[in-house]
Amino acid sequence: MRTAKKAGDDELVAAARRRVGLAKLGLGERGPYWWEQPEADRLAQAQTALRDLDAIAG
């Protein structure tokens, strides 16, 4: 985020925010409370986030 903001490029900032959002979702920091989810659901959420992040990275 810092690098994208320093560059002043709105597209870079948006892309960085998307990556950070996906990472936080995968870690359980966003969305339903992770401690209330069954383990299988948490793992599926993390794996989906990783796949999405890999797809963005190319």
Do 1 and 16 form a contact (C-beta atoms < 8 A)? yes
Q: In this predicted structure, what is the pLDDT of residue 3?
A: 86
Percent of the chain with pLDDT over 90: 72
**Is the pLDDT higher at 3 or at 14?**
14
pTM above 0.95, yes or no: no
Helix ranges (DSSP H) in the chain: 2-7, 10-27, 39-57
Long-range CB pairs of 3-9, under 8 A, 24+ apart, other chains included: none
pLDDT (tens digit per residue) in 39-54: 999 999 999 999 999 9
